[in-house]
Structure 1
Amino acid sequence: MDLTILYRGPLSSCDYDCPYCPFAKRRDSRDQLRADRAALDRFASWATEQHDDRLSLLFTPWGEGLVRSWYRHTLVRLSRLPHIRRVAIQTNLSCRTDWLAEADPDTLALWCTYHPGQTSYERFAGKCADLTRRGIRFSVGVVGLPEHLDAARRLRADLPGHVYLWVNAPEGQQLSDTEAAAWTELDPLFDYSRYPHSSAGMPCRTGESVISVDGAGTVRRCHFVRTELGNLYDNSYRANLRPRACPKDLCDCHIGYVHLESLPLYDVFAGGVLERVPQHRPTRPQLVTVPLPAGGS
């Protein structure tokens, strides 16, 4: 079986203080960190033993995982297993990068976010250059706030042409067409993020070939639907894997709507869905979504 898993353990601490993030500068206690490490070790051991499956794994911690040694060790370990197709993590790239020398670059990938104001441009761009030298697959993105635009333009100019720079629309803010056009110049796929997608009743791969798993092993179809499908560790979830329509009115997060079958994003990101790396350098689609009327669903 080919299975994509989004794993999110208890970790919720971050070394950055982004004003748009509820987990900014949050600190986990020692007990919480021990619990997170134990949960991650359990998940990694389970994944290691699934020789009859082909797994694609994306770690989506609320906090920053790669500043913790157990996340770095886990990614290296999993990247070297033949039945792991891809192992990726969302990261602010504040960690050192020398550990990547131990990983298999054909399997490991990084989804990196640049937060201007939290790190110097030179430091972040230097990390990106190091990833390129090491042959690591990665994408880089920013939140589309007006104060980030100049830094994002500079980063786009300095990144190799094959590295995709994505832009997430700022949550809770309505962009004008002029503002959106500036971001679309940097990310031709920006319109996918600009508007929430009407998803109610739409076919979605989550719950069939894509699942979400928390630190206790509870399986759900995705991070945004709380209905439980079973538990990873007693195998009870498998009997509940089947095609499902989305029960939510809207889907507005990339790690959710990328799996909607009503959107062409599996073709756009073929081979790089988890790390948000397009198959080809993207151009702006003719039509990607229809804006919802105010107050509509």
Structure 2
Amino acid sequence: MDLSILYRGPLASCDYDCPYCPFAKRRDSTEQLRADRAALARFADWVAANTEDRLSILLTPWGEGLVRSWYRDTMVRLSHLPQVRRVAIQTNLSCRTGWLAEADPDTVALWTTYHPGQVSHERFLGKCRELTALGVRYSVGVVGQPEHLDAARRLRAELPADRYLWINAAEGRTYTDAEAADWSALDPLFHYSRHPHPSGGHPCRTGSSVISVDGEGTVQRCHFVRAPLGNLYDGSYRAALTPRPCPLAVCDCHIGYVHLETLPLYDVFVQGILERIPEGW
């Protein structure tokens, strides 16, 4: 079967201190880092042994994964497995990029976020140019804070025209029509992020062809519905994979609502769902 997996291990530390992020500048202990490394290795071994499914994988650490060697090594390893259609990660792109030359460029992808105030425009744009030179698939995004608008406009102007720039609505912020128009001029899909989407009782692919997995192997339908469906490593989750409606009233995060069957986003992104790259962009 075709199965998309959102993996989130114990890692919570990040090298940035964005004021809108609860995990800014958090530090993991040596023991926590060892546990995260072991959990990711176990997950990668499961992927390598699973030859009966066609897998798409998005790594969604609470912290910044690519500054850790085990995330880079795992992405390279998984990118070369024939059963893996895509392996992507959410990242602030603060890491070096040369390691990506060892990955399969047809499989690996990055969902990158530019955080003005944490990194200079020149440094971030330089990293993007390195990815382009390496032939790596990547999207670029900015959180729609009012103070980020000018930086986002500058980034859009200097990125290649064929590179998608997404804008995430800032959590808890209500946008006027004029404000939304400014952000929509940069991201024509911003209207999907502007408002939470009604999801209660609506069909969603999570829990059927999309699952969330934590460091212990506990399988849930998504990051936001915590009821366990079983465990990845003993196979108990498979019997629970079935179409089911969403139990939450609304869904306001892209990695959740992109899978709602009431939205046309699978037709918009097609093969770029996990790395957030619209088809034909």
2:150 is the alignment partner of 1:150: yes
TM-score of the superposition, structure 1-length normalised? 0.94
The alpha-carbon deviation at position 217 of structure 1 amounts to 0.1
Q: How does 1:231-242 map to 2 (within 5 A)?
A: 231-242=231-242
Aligned partner of 2:90 in structure 1 is 90
Give the secondary-structure state (helix, strand or coil) at the position aligned to 2:123: helix
Residue 210 of structure 1 aligns to which amino acid in structure 2? V
Residue 26 of structure 2 corresponds to residue 47 of structure 1 = no
Q: Which residues in structure 2 correspond to 1:246-265 (within 5 Å)?
A: 246-265=246-265
Partner of 2:2: 2
Q: Identify the residue that residue 19 of structure 2 maps to in structure 1.
A: 19
1:36 matches 2:36: yes
Q: Secondary structure at the match of 1:24?
A: coil
Deviations 1:74-113 (A, max 9, x none): 0000000111000000000000000001000000000000
Please give the per-residue CA displacement for 1:217-250, whole angstroms capped at 9, x wherever unaligned: 0000000001100000000000000000000000
Mapped pair 1:274 → 2:274: yes
CA distance in 2, matches of 1:139, 1:14: 20
CA offset digits 1:143-180 (Å, max 9, x no partner):
00111111111111111111100000010111111111
Contact 1:268–1:280 (CA<8 Å) still a contact in 2? Answer: no
- Once residues 271 and 162 of structure 1 are traced to their aligned partners in structure 2, the CA distance between those partners, rounded to angstroms, is 16
**2: CA distance, partners of 1:279 / 1:157:** 21
Cα offsets for 1:35-67 (capped at 9, x unmatched): 000000000000011111100000000000000
What's the secondary structure of 2:272's corresponding residue? coil
Q: Per-residue CA shift, 1:249-273, capped at 9, x if unaligned?
A: 0000000000000000000001100
Per-residue displacement from partner, 1:9-57 (whole Å, max 9, x unpaired)? Answer: 0000000000000000000000000000000000000001111110000
How many residue pairs are counted as aligned between the two chains? Answer: 281
Could you tell me whether the CA contact under 8 Å between 1:51 and 1:83 is conserved in 2? yes
- TM-score (normalised: structure 2): 0.99
Q: Partner letter of residue 137 of structure 2?
A: R
For 1:181, the equivalent position in structure 2 comes to 181
| Secondary structure of 1:173 counterpart | coil
Distance in 1, matches of 2:110 and 2:29, equals 27
Contact 1:10 1:215 in 2 (8 A): yes
Q: In the aligned structure 1, how far is the partner of 2:225 from the partner of 2:156?
A: 35
Which residue does 1:215 correspond to in 2?
215
Aligned residue type for 2:12: S
Displacement of 1:280 in angstroms is 2.6
Contact 1:59 1:89 in 2 (8 A): yes
Cα distance in 2 between the residues matched to 1:164 and 1:106: 18
Q: Indicate if the aligned counterparts of 1:143 and 1:170 stay in contact, CA closer than 8 A.
A: yes
Partner of 1:225 in structure 2? 225
Give 3-state SS (helix, strand or coil) of 2:185's partner.
helix
The answer (yes or no) to whether the contact 1:15–1:25 under 8 Å persists in 2 is yes
Letter in 2 for 1:276: R
User: Partner letter of residue 225 of structure 1?
Assistant: V
- Segments of 5+ residues of structure 2 without an aligned counterpart are none
- CA RMSD between the two structures: 0.5
- Residue type at the aligned position of 1:52: E
The unaligned stretches of length 5 or more in structure 1 are 282-297
**Which amino acid in 2 is paired with 1:185?**
A
Distance between the aligned counterparts of 2:191 and 2:256, measured in 1?
A: 15
What is the SS of the residue equivalent to 2:87? Answer: strand
Distance 2:27 2:164 in 1: 31
The alignment status of 1:134 with 2:137, answered yes or no, reads no
Contact 1:207 1:244 survives alignment (8 Å): yes
- Give CA deviations for 1:114-137 in whole Å, capped at 9, x if unaligned: 000000110000000111111100
